[in-house]
Amino acid sequence: MAATAGRSARLYLQSGTATSFTSGGMSTSNNLRFTMTAASARHWDYSTTPTISVGGVVQTSGYSVERCGGNVVFTSATTGTVTANGSFRTVSAIAEAKEWNLDVDNEYQEDPAFGDSGVTRVFIGQDAAGSFSDWHTDSYLLTFAESTTPYVVAFYIDNATGARYEGYFFCSKDGVKTGAKQLIEGEASLVACQVSGEDQAVYYRAT
């Protein structure tokens, strides 16, 4: 089996002001996962909760929301017209990495009771961290480090199809380094933004 060559990662700055939308159309290929049809509105505001409707009826359960990507995932097949009310942030790419890494940590807690013959564990959430480095050409890393608004980071594993891992991240540390007759390198340490109501910190996108 051939090894996979390294792919790119991109850092996206979100607009400071969220734009509201109503009855946002959503598309699906399997009646389970629905994605915001308008590509420009797929990064939903991380701090607000969207309202999901099926056939004009507001849903209160039976689905989960992935704000980074504008997705709604139902627990059972849904054939009605799915729409969303909420807000999104416009994103624009400000840097592309020369090197990156991503670590995803699924957190489990043991829940044994007296008399149990074994140990079971319950999934309680997910965390993620990583790093993003590039050739230093401007002050974006300092801006990233000082931001109280998370950035979107996309870690591409296939540039042709757009397959990637993506999520909202804060910068926990940044720095630059160089040597004699060498280019300046910048690096940011990343920590995932834990979005309220979502178990996952990072999502895989096939396209």
The angle formed by the CA atoms of residues 144, 150 and 156, to the nearest 5 degrees, is 85
Supply the pTM of this predicted model.
Answer: 0.83
| Positive or negative: CA dihedral 109, 172, 147, 185 | negative
Residue of 63, 66, 22 lying closest to 44 (CA atoms): 66
Which pLDDT belongs to residue 1? 45
The rounded distance, in Å, linking the Cα atoms of 157 and 207 is 11
Helix (H, G, I), strand (E, B) or coil at 47: coil
Task: Tell me which residue has tokens 């909760």.
Answer: 49
CB 34 within 8 A of CB 44: no
The rounded distance, in Å, linking the Cα atoms of 64 and 61 is 8
CB 155 within 8 A of CB 100: yes
CA terminus-to-terminus distance, the chain:
23
The rounded distance, in Å, linking the Cα atoms of 55 and 203 is 27
Q: What is the chain's pLDDT, residue by residue, as a tens digit (207 residues)?
A: 454 555 788 888 887 789 999 999 999 999 999 999 999 999 999 888 999 999 999 999 999 999 999 999 999 999 999 999 999 999 998 888 888 999 999 999 998 888 888 888 998 889 999 999 888 777 777 788 888 888 999 999 888 888 899 999 999 988 888 999 998 888 899 999 988 888 889 999 888
